[in-house]
Amino acid sequence: MLPAQRRAALKAHFSSGKLIAAPGVYDMISAKIADRMGFEALYMTGYGVVASYLGLPDAGIATYTDMVNRVTQFGLVTSTPMICDGDTGYGGLLNVAHTVRGYEAAGACAIQLEDQEFPKKCGHMLGRRVIAAEDMAQKIRVAVDARSDPNFLIIARTDARTTLGLDEALRRAELYARAGADLLFIESPESVEEMQRIGKAFDVPLVANMVEGGRTPVLSAAQLEQIGYRLAIFPALGFLSAGAAVEKAYGVLKEKRSSVDLGVPLYDFQSFSRLMGFDAIAEFDKKYSA
């Protein structure tokens, strides 16, 4: 499926009114595994990409070049529509336009932009500061104008809830919707009641950030749909589960100096090799070897 077809498919899903659950992918292995499972969308998580690519916290350290390179590689190895974290747009208005064009050219189907001050922080950490609401609204207008495909979706995220309260976050989200955002993402509401207030306030599709152990309650798909959410992202699920499995496996190896009786589920090696494309290498060698 070509990028334009993926974007059209993703936009059509949001028109259906059904909740999309998007797993967070953070490296090429997680992306390839998720891509073959039939999800309507994948979510390129900034936290996970920075952690896996740089081994650093999601605190404004990764550059536009770092991130667009990851978007490009994800686009090459997957065929599922990809929603990509674009942080603050990596600078001012001109940077936002450049970022939108770059992400779109790299194969993304949607970009998430947030109203934090630079350097940004993970949305479930304390101490986040936000720029003026009108400055962010202008970023959204620039992003809308910069895209070449009208099906390339602009997700406007506000981080105002944690430091300025829910009322200010709702006010900002309304402003961003009027600026042209296709989806609204009010980060880190702290109760089901707050999530319900958000759901009642907007007709624009809403994003729920389901971080296991984060500041927002993790709800069932039925609950999220009833509230009014149309996209639920699970940015941490992949790297938290992988981290736990790797730590346990390496712990057994350290203790026993062997992987016998490991006690950890392992992906079948031959199946994993097929997932990585070794069958295609074998066919290539068969065709072109002397």
Q: What are 202-245's pLDDT values in tens digits? A: 999 999 999 999 999 999 999 999 999 999 999 999 999 999 99
pTM of the model: 0.94
Is residue 146 within 8 Å of residue 96, measured between CB atoms?
Answer: yes
Domain ranges of the chain: 3-236, 243-288
Q: What are 18-74's pLDDT values in tens digits? A: 999 999 999 999 999 999 999 999 999 999 999 999 999 998 899 999 999 999 999
Helix or strand holding residue 9 (H, E): helix 3-16
| CATH 3.30.530.20 is held by the domain 3-236 | no
Is residue 147 within 8 Å of residue 100, measured between CB atoms?
Answer: yes
Judge whether residue 290 has pLDDT over 80.
no
